[in-house]
Amino acid sequence: MSEHTHHHHAPAEGIDPVAHWEEHYGTGDRVWSGAANASLVAVLEELAPSSGPSRAPRALDIGCGEGADAIWLARAGWRTTGVDISPTAIGRAQEAAREAGLGPEQLRLIAADLSDPVVDAGLGGPFDLVTASFFHSTIALPRTGILRRAAALLAPGGRLLVISHAAPPPWARGDFARHREDLLDPDAEVAALDLPAADFAVERAELRRRAATAPDGTPAELEDGVVLIRRR
């Protein structure tokens, strides 16, 4: 997907998350552009090559939506698992994977609620990379807990890459614009994760700006938070 949720309200309680995201994805055609998130691609392409595992490296994309990031990873040589709570989104991701010529040995897509720790056992780790792009929600989401558990699925030397909205887009108005305080900057993200320094090394905690197009068609600039953490 191009980006995930574009709203950052205080969490709404008592809403069924599967029904919420099915409504989000079930309103018509694809929600997202189908292009991988630019900051994710840039960071991974900048990483220095390493000998890595002798086997094909394994990646997990959490909150994969319609699958753009997961498909990019699979085409880049990662044996990838993508997970999203919405069966509709996963169905679209599967269709896009078929169109990209990817088989199940290259990309596995799972509809599951990551807020349930039981799901972790079925994901098939350990992973050499875990990605989470714009993993935000308008309803209650134990986001930090999910990211901590994702870090625990990393193999030694594996990395957790979190791309997030660091600020609302410049065209945001009203309720969305008022919820800037709900967004964590990279340093606050690292502090919230609170991963033990003996086991994890923070390699990047930075802001990245990227070009975008506003809803009215005018050029704009967005600010992404980037956190990259390596398991020792």
- What's the rounded Cα separation, in Å, for the pair 22 and 58? 28
Residue 1: what pLDDT? Answer: 38
Q: Would you say residue 46 has pLDDT above 50?
A: yes
Residue 140: what pLDDT? Answer: 78
Q: For 67-100, write each residue's pLDDT tens digit.
A: 999 999 999 999 999 999 999 999 999 999 999 9
Region 152-157: mean pLDDT is 97
Residue 138: what pLDDT? Answer: 75
Most confident option among 42-51, 77-86, 132-141: 77-86
Residue 230: what pLDDT? Answer: 98
Domains and their CATH numbers in the chain: 29-44+55-231 (3.40.50.150)
Helix or strand holding residue 157 (H, E): strand 154-165
Least confident residue range of 60-64, 83-87, 128-132, 133-137? 133-137
Question: Residue 27: which residues within 8 A CB-CB, separation 6 or more?
Answer: none
Question: Residue 22: which residues within 8 A CB-CB, separation 6 or more?
Answer: 86, 87, 88
Region 116-144: mean pLDDT is 92
Region 181-207: mean pLDDT is 95
SS3 (DSSP) at 71: helix
Residue 33: what pLDDT? Answer: 64
Residue 6: what pLDDT? Answer: 37
What are 9's two structure tokens?
């309200």
> Please, which pLDDT band fits residue 161 given cuts at 50, 70 and 90?
very high
